[in-house]
Amino acid sequence: MQNCKAVIILSGGMDSVTTLAIAKNLGFDCYTLTFDYGQKSISEIDSALYYSKKYDAAEHKVFKINFNDFVDSALTSENIDIPSSPSNSIPSTYVPMRNIIFLSIACSWAEKINSLNIFIGANAIDYSGYPDCRDEFLDSYEKMINLGSKTGAEGGKFLIHRPLVDMKKNEIINLGKSLGLNYSRTISCYQATFDGKACGLCESCVFRKNAFLENGLEDETIYI
């Protein structure tokens, strides 16, 4: 395909880094966008920078917003513990409207650089029940942003690429490995230490460990 620009929402986690590897493999010039939103796992920002450099991103930006000013979430609040067992309902790690905000900022940047492509590593199979990771949401968001943007009004069409949305975690790892991805610097833990060590107990860590085991691989994560 002809090389063109894409904005990649890059948290530094396993899914988003795999998404970056996919976009790069497809021939896109990648503009990576990371959010510093008051998350406990602040080391994921360092991971995002590492992979942005590794995959030769055209530009890497960090957008800062403090969700603690607006919401209560175990991912951001020191007063709410990260749960150590799965929930039958939307878990306390849910951050209200997070992907809506992230995608809106990504589309703003895409419009500035004349790009129609936004990639997000949302996954609706092995996930924690977040409503903003579902394909139905992403499809509706794509329609909405094209109705409410200059790009859409002038006849363009933003495309919200979500290549992992219907994949299981072990399938994501297989895909990443086929692209030569080394996951050792990715941060999946909800409460990783400042130097990137994972707790091994939170739901995200469990999903990750099980996926590596299902593939007969050793998890590359460093645990506390």
Domain CATH code at residue 66: 3.40.50.620
Q: Is residue 189 part of a domain?
A: no
214 within a domain of the structure (yes/no): no
Reading the chain (224 residues) residue by residue, the pLDDT tens digits are: 345 999 999 999 999 999 999 999 999 999 999 999 999 999 999 999 999 999 999 999 999 999 988 899 999 999 999 987 666 678 899 999 999 999 999 999 999 999 999 999 999 876 667 899 999 999 999 999 999 999 999 999 999 999 999 999 999 999 999 999 999 999 999 999 999 999 999 989 998 999 999 999 888 787 87
Q: At what angle do helices 43-54 and 14-25 cross, to 10 degrees?
A: 20
Tell me how far CA of residue 96 lies from CA of 18, 80, 92, 130, in angstroms: 24, 15, 10, 9
Q: What single-letter DSSP state applies at residue 98?
A: H
89 sits in the region (left: phi over 0; alpha: psi -120 to 50; else beta) called: beta
Amino acid at 184: S
DSSP bridge partners of 36: 64
Per-residue pLDDT at 120? 98
Cβ atoms of 107 and 141 closer than 8 Å: no
Do the domain assignments include residue 205? Answer: no
Domain contains 132: yes
- Tell me which H or E stretch contains 176: helix 169-178
3-state SS assignment for residue 60: strand
In-domain check, residue 204: no
pTM of the model: 0.94
Angle (CA) 221-118-18 rounded to 5° is 20
Number of domains composing the chain: 1
Using an 8 Å Cβ cutoff, are 99 and 92 in contact? no
Strand (E) positions, 21-162? Answer: 29-36, 59-64, 117-119, 159-161
Q: Which range of residues forms the domain containing residue 116?
A: 5-182
Q: How far apart are CA 91 and CA 139, in angstroms?
A: 23
d(CA 168, CA 82) in angstroms, rounded, equals: 23
CA 117-189-7 angle, 5° bins: 10
| 46 falls within a domain | yes
pLDDT score of 91: 87
Q: What is the pLDDT of residue 126?
A: 62
DSSP one-letter string for 99-121: HHHHHHHHHHHHHHTT--EEE--
| Local structure of residue 35 (DSSP, 8 states) | E
| Residue 163 DSSP code | T
With respect to residue 67, please indicate whether it lies within any of the assigned structural domains. yes
In-domain check, residue 215: no
